[in-house]
């Protein structure tokens, strides 16, 4: 090192500074790429649950279908009639028909993993259990389903009036717990 030159004017200083800049740039680029990869991975397993109501020759059904590209883990389901929460599909049908239902089929969705493209029938109603004026009656029913992805991201899908109203989706921080008294 030449005594007449300052330390910052030495060639070694420029080489060291260039190496430092390249190293810091490599770290920044690596972090950015890791962030992009995380976003890509999340998008690759994004579930999208839809609530469906349909009639068929043998009756009617209410179903959930995962139209996304990743599995959905159903964490809670709330069913209401005229805005009041119900405990089971039997209670929903009793409220709509005024009589005890006889031959319906139902499936508990909570803690069920729904694969992409899979449909889960929540309620299968035979013709004998169909409410009078089915579409008007079913519009009194609301369904809210909270589900999660494998990356623990959460969404709520909700139809306040089945078959007769908009369906909304919302990102949320956490799913509310399933009520102990509810059997959905």
Paired residues of 55 in beta bridges: 60
Query: CA separation (Å) from 48 to 24, 41, 96, 117, 123?
Result: 40, 16, 29, 10, 20
Give the separation between CA 93 and CA 88, rounded to whole angstroms.
Answer: 9
**What phi, psi does 138 have (nearest 5°)?**
-70, -25
Q: What is the pLDDT of residue 8?
A: 73
Helix (H, G, I), strand (E, B) or coil at 84: strand
Residues forming beta bridges with residue 85, ordered by sequence position: 80
In angstroms, the CA 1 to CA 72 distance is 66
Q: How many CB atoms lie within 10 A of CB 79?
A: 23
Q: Cα(64)–Cα(34) distance, rounded to whole angstroms?
A: 34
- The residues pairing with 80 across neighbouring beta strands, listed in sequence order, are 85, 142
Predicted pLDDT of residue 38: 78
**pTM score, two decimals?**
0.79
Q: What pLDDT score was predicted for residue 119?
A: 97
pLDDT tens for the chain, 184 residues: list them.
566 778 777 888 888 888 999 999 999 998 989 888 877 777 778 999 999 999 999 999 999 999 999 999 999 999 999 999 999 999 999 999 888 888 899 999 999 999 999 999 999 999 988 887 899 999 999 999 999 999 999 999 999 999 888 999 999 999 999 999 899 9
- The answer to whether the Cα torsion of 16, 17, 22, 28 is positive or negative is positive
Strand partners, 154: 148, 172
Which is nearest to 141 in space by CA: 124, 123, 161? 161
CA–CA separation, 50 and 43 (whole Å): 18
How many alpha carbons fall within 13 Å on the CB side of residue 46? 9
């Amino acid at each position: 090192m030449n005594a007449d030159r300052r330390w910052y004017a030495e060639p070694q200083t420029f080489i060291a500074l260039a190496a430092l800049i390249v190293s810091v740039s490599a770290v920044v680029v690596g972090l950015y790429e890791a962030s992009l990869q995380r976003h890509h991975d999340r998008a690759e397993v994004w579930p999208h649950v839809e609530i469906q109501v349909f009639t068929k020759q043998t009756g009617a059904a209410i179903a959930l279908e995962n139209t996304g590209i990743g599995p959905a883990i159903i964490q809670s389901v709330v069913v209401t009639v005229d805005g009041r929460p119900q405990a089971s599909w039997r209670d929903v049908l009793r409220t709509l028909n005024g009589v005890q239902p006889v031959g319906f089929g139902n499936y508990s969705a909570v803690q069920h993993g729904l694969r992409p493209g899979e449909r889960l029938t929540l309620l299968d109603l035979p013709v004998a259990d169909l409410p009078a004026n089915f579409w008007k009656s079913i519009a009194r029913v609301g369904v809210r389903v909270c589900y999660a992805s494998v990356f623990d991201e959460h969404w709520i899908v909700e139809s306040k009036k089945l078959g007769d109203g908009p369906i909304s989706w919302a990102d949320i921080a956490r799913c509310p717990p399933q009520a102990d008294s509810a059997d959905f």
